A and B are shown apart, each in its own frame.
Chain A
Amino acid sequence: MNIKVGMGSCGIAAGAGEIFDLLVKRAKNTDSGVTPVGCNGMCYLEPIVEVDGKMYTQVSEADVDDILSGIKPLHEAEQNQNRIALRNCGIINPENIDEYIEKGGYQPLNLTPEEVIEKVKASGLAGRGGAGFPTWFKWDACRKATCSSTASPCSDNKKYVICNADEGDPGAFMDRAILEGDPHSVLEGMLICAHAIGRGAPSGNSSLRDGALVEGIIYVRAEYPLVIKRLEIAIIQARERGFLGNQFDIKIKAGAGAFVCGEETALIASLEGERGMPRLKPPFPAEKGFWGKPSNINNVETFANVPWIMQNSGKAANTKVFALTGKIAKGGLVEVPMGCTIKDVVFNIGGGIQGGKNFKAVQLGGPSGGCIPASLQDTKIDYKSLAETGAIMGSGGMVVMDESSCMVDMARYFLDFTCKESCGKCAHCRVGNRRLLDILERICNGSGKDGDIELLEELSEEIKAGSLCALGQTAPNPVLTTLRYFKNEYEDHIKNKKCTAKSCKKLLTYSIDLNKCKKCNLCVKKCAANAITDFVINDEKCTKCGFCESLCKFEAVTVN
């Protein structure tokens, strides 16, 4: 038997480590092999054990013997997806380079740099980190950039390939899954990129004739220790096989967890040991990047696509990985073809909403993105269609919301995140976004004023126009899109001091319906704030924790 255990961070958190150890122990004297693999995307079913293509889900230690004795699988693997970036995740052992090579990895690249760039262009690959900038264009610009064309003089002809693995959007874990499940796909993508931007031209353009010395760096957040471990193993193995080390080598740099360091100029500053603060572009990193040298920065998922593109000449790399979270029934990682709809993802792949509640909206692109309401669920997932709704493709976070989600509070949540993660450099982002948050907080607290909606709109427009980097420029998006689709909720909060989703605590009042109350005294005893006397809730003392409501067996506690 060929036994695979999902050993991504998600699987390990669900207990896959213990299952793996037990399986190894029990299978010791059999002909069965047990391998750790990365996350296959079905995080909601972890721990997952796959035996000869059949899947056991939510496995406990008690299930191990059943699995070894071959009892019917508990769950069939669903393959409603079209996997490119995640092609090997959950399938191969990420700590074994042979398995990657077996799947077609590290094939000799018999292409000139120009041909590589042409292929990337033909595939339509766009930056998967969120902005969707054409990848070939960056590569081409970096290839053509020479030290003499940059502003700062330099003695050596050096370039850098940098992989941005500073994944920080709340609810996003695409990059982590790829690096944990298939690190070599990213290393190979970087290797191909290094060839494209640095290899000398056989003739023609004199500035490109000699080629450049290219170094690779992976900037990964320190909160991803398993990623760092697997990358270290993968780099050592790739060096042993001679893929890395001679002409091109890769280092890992662990970032200290600042969200803004995902912005490429801030990332470069951080790499240089400076405070992670974005700078103005141009000059773009392709001209003047790390240590002033031409540098190409791509996201993890972008690089993971590249080896596939080289192997599948002519095919379009038209999928996107999403991390499905929130009120979705089947949360996890999915890779879907461009052009499928929000509805397909939420209902066909994600299994709809938890607990049978109504689907309300999705937030795409995390704090930089926007919400798309259920009424627009037929929106196609492609850069253009999503942009028309006011949202963005983003790096792949998809937070699903149901009727119990307050959209004002959602905007407040994301603004709170951006304010905490702002580097503090430019005025519009540092103060402007804080002022947006001030306004949202007062609306959620029931102190919203007439004119607040207009002020939010006016200030958002100025922040977008005036902020220095994408973090600030996109921070008002959650506010603007919720205002666009859910203005009535804002008005309800401001004018009627009412939160229809019953989520903003300051706007709720709890009361006991004495017609239904059986005077069992349970709520009185359990109320931590001692707010209930004689079956009346004292609104002053009540902390709106909702515990009484959840306790009452007679549904006598009502919330308004």
Chain B
Amino acid sequence: MTIDNVQLTIMKARKQVKININNQEILTEQGKTILQIAQEAGIEIPTLCHDERVEIFGSCGICTVEIAGSPRLFRACSTFAADGMVINTDSERVHRNRKSVLELLLSDHTGDCKAPCVLACPAETDCQGYVKLIADGDFDGARELIMQTNPFPASIGRVCPHPCEEACRRELVEESIAIASLKYFAVENSTTPPPMAALLQGGELRVGIIGGGPGGLTAAYFLRRKGHDVTVYDAMPEPGGMLRYGIPEYRLPKAVLQKEIDMIKNMGVEIKSNANVILSDVHGKYDAVIIAVGAWVSASMRCKGEELPHVFGGIDFLREQPEIRGKTVAVVGGGNTAMDACRTAVRLGAERVYNIYRRTRAEMPAEKQEIAEAEEEGVIFKFLTNPLEISEKSIKLQIMQLGEPDASGRRAPVAVGGAEEILDVDIVISAIGQKLNPSGLEALELTKWGTIKADPDTFCTNLQGVYAIGDAVNDGAGIAITAIGQARKAAETVHAFLAGRGVPDAPFNSRYLAKTEKTSEDFADREKQLRAKMPHRCANERRGDFKEVNLGLTREQAQKEAARCLDCGCADFHECKLIRYANQYDVRPEKYEGLISKKTKNSPIPNVAQSPDKCILCGLCVRLCEEEIKAGVLGFVGRGFDTQVKPAGDLNVCENCGKCAEVCPTGALIINNE
């Protein structure tokens, strides 16, 4: 080892110094580290292990910088500035070294940044967060949290097919958490009226939105919150789109929806109903345009007689609600719209309602609850049948059987040669899907499925300043929460575009997140507690009217249900420095996949929840406890790769100050509020 000039300079540095950081000349007093000087000058140098309250340690090694004249890298936290130093904090070399540290740390940092429910939600709703607030009895807080990502909590809590619950890990113990029912509960049990979101100043820029469904109105809500001037054009007499016209009253009362739309109106969003505008009417008149027209054309059954007047499209039937008292109705399709049509037909006084579905109950895309309730209400299921021909008083069905699994993974229905059945019916409803009506949108590029082509992260279309979301784009008709999620992202893009910042950072689900795989063995120690059942009106009573079927969870039920949550996601996510830096430096930790260090169970620290698997051994907790608190409760135990922070000293001297958790850069130590 030889001494290079830089080291000599460092050793001699003891007076006022003038240094250069990233071409910026800085004059400062002697005895300061590069990190301190950079921080004072507003130049960010990342660090995970440094804190002014404790002595320099240098364990994380992420604060490295380059100093002209030396081929080495220096830790900014421990290198004292010397006169004339020329420092680069952001070179390619520095970037590469920092990235390597982050990737190495993350390769042995196991946990879930986000809970599976949150990752599964198309709108990234913080399910874990609001479930926790409900468990704690803070229902207003829960609603407010939901509304960070979704302005329709009451409506969505009623109608969402809840992909979150499919992902829920409580399933590995016994049954998933009733997340959707809890959302419904939180809104119904909030004590204050929905607060109007704070509006930012602005308003000079104007956004036109075509379509007043959940997507269009959500985009309006988020853009209005940013202070923009928003006008929504809706073709129907009342806004709400499919939430109003595609979901029956008994599932989502119009009054509930109206209240949520009113809130958006009260924010200053202008909604023009019965407005049949096309793209060219608004394009160029606004600073940005969002297309959220939905998919209102019922898909064809491709069978004879489809054009007959007693054949309705599913959503058309739901919207028009024709007089069918005493008639026999056949509803074709296995999705939620088909179930809605079946149950609406029951309520409209149909004598008999058939459901025609070409596969079996197990393959039905509709929610299990909807199928069960339809059956309770007397709907007759004709599984493994497919319409061949519709005539004035009957429908001819092809008998099917299940073959090999198709691309969707479900077993494909195959016709059984010669096997047919004829049903006597007065009304046929086709509820097998919806399509975009592209007229008036000719300037937009479409996909091969006939939907508008939009970027899946930013929702830009082929036209600059025109964005498209919801059922009208890409994969076509989906669920409301998807449109809401896309609306929020599109609103961010539009806001960034209007502010002249180009395209915003990619949303979090395209960034790095730590994730783990769990099995039921991981939760073998959990006590089994069955999922709360949503109370509802009995079938006989409800089939005669359109009043809401569900009655909502009781307070006791809801809090007990919410307490079942396994808290999968990291409670420290929003404060975690590790994940923030990880995404700043575009990490790919999977390349260092290897052994995971052995961590043994720790004895408890008062008021602090420990997740040793997330510890990156920065040592801040150990040092702060020893140097600042003078308690020395924590220590390093073990050697090398298996080194671990443990309560190693006398727990009786712990002052319960929680400083160890406060200073932890990750979620390894967090304040336990329980």
Contacts and interface: CB of A to CB of B under 8 A. Distances in A.
Contacts of A422: 639-641
A34 B422 CA distance: 118
Interface string A195-230: 000000000000000000000000000000000000
B373 to A, nearest CB: 53
Contacts of B72: 465
B101 A466 contact: yes
Contacts of B592: 431, 435, 438, 459
B594 interface: yes
A537 to B, nearest CB: 32
B56 A280 contact: yes
Interface string A423-434: 111111011101
A137 B643 CA distance: 36
B96 interface: yes
Contacts of A132: 1
B641 A434 contact: yes
Given A427-B617, A430-B640, A434-B641, 6 more contacts: A419-B641, A424-B617, A425-B643, A427-B62, A432-B100, A468-B58
B594 A462 contact: no
B462 interface: no
B213 interface: no
B297 to A, nearest CB: 50
A308 to B, nearest CB: 24
A280 B75 contact: yes
Interface stretch (B104-112, B177-185, B251-259): B104-112
22 contacts: A132-B1, A277-B636, A279-B57, A282-B7, A282-B11, A282-B80, A419-B641, A420-B639, A422-B639, A422-B641, A424-B643, A425-B59, A425-B619, A434-B641, A435-B592, A439-B594, A458-B100, A459-B100, A465-B97, A466-B61, A468-B58, A468-B61
B60 interface: yes
Contacts of A328: none
Given A419-B641, A426-B59, A428-B104, A434 B78 contact: no
A451 to B, nearest CB: 9
Given A438-B595, A465-B73, A466-B100, A423 B640 contact: yes
Given A462-B96, A466-B100, A430 B58 contact: no
Given A131-B1, A430-B643, A280 B58 contact: yes
B616 interface: yes
A309 interface: no
B interface, how many residues as a size bin?
A: 35 or more
Q: Pick the 8 closest A-B CB pairs, nearest first.
A: A424-B643, A438-B594, A462-B100, A431-B104, A422-B640, A280-B78, A280-B58, A434-B641
A458 B11 CA distance: 31
Contact of A467 (B7, B61, B638): B61
A interface, how many residues as a size bin?
A: 35 or more
A81 to B, nearest CB: 27
Contacts of B61: 426-428, 466-468
Given A431-B105, A435-B104, A133 B638 contact: no
Interface string A258-287: 100000000000000001010110101000
Contacts of A133: 1
Given A427-B616, A430-B617, A462-B97, A468 B639 contact: no
Interface in B615-649: 616-617, 619, 635-636, 638-643
Interface in A70-85: none
Contacts of B591: 455
A279 B58 contact: yes
Contacts of B337: none
B1 A424 contact: no
Contacts of A258: 639
A421 interface: yes
Contacts of A426: 58-61
B78 A435 contact: no
Interface string A26-64: 000000000000000000000000000000000000000
Interface string A122-135: 00000000011100
B10 interface: yes
A275 B632 CA distance: 13
Given A426-B58, A428-B104, A435-B104, A465 B639 contact: no
Name which of A424, A438, A439 has the most chain B CB atoms within 10 A of its CB: A424
B80 to A, nearest CB: 8
Nearest to B94: A465
B595 A468 contact: no
Nearest to B13: A282
A284 B10 CA distance: 11
A421 B639 contact: yes
Contacts of B638: 424
A287 B638 CA distance: 30
A430 B73 contact: no
Interface in B638-670: 638-643
Contact of A435 (B1, B59, B75, B107): B107
Interface in A457-484: 458-459, 462, 465-468, 470
A425 B78 CA distance: 15
B64 interface: yes
Interface in B68-104: 72-73, 75, 78, 80, 96-97, 100-101, 104
A425 B640 CA distance: 8
A501 to B, nearest CB: 25
Nearest to A425: B59
A551 B3 CA distance: 57
A427 B105 contact: yes
Interface string B425-469: 000000000000000000000000000000000000000000000
Nearest to A466: B61
Nearest to A468: B58
B107 A431 contact: yes
Nearest to B11: A282
A425 B616 CA distance: 10
Contacts of A425: 59, 617, 619, 636, 643
Interface in A84-133: 131-133
Interface string A398-435: 00000000000000000000011111111110111011
Given A282-B10, A468-B59, A424 B640 contact: yes
Contacts of B59: 425-427, 468
Nearest to A424: B643
Contacts of B619: 425
Nearest to B2: A133
Contact of B97 (A279, A424, A466): A466
Contacts of B642: 424
A459 B643 CA distance: 21
B640 A419 contact: yes
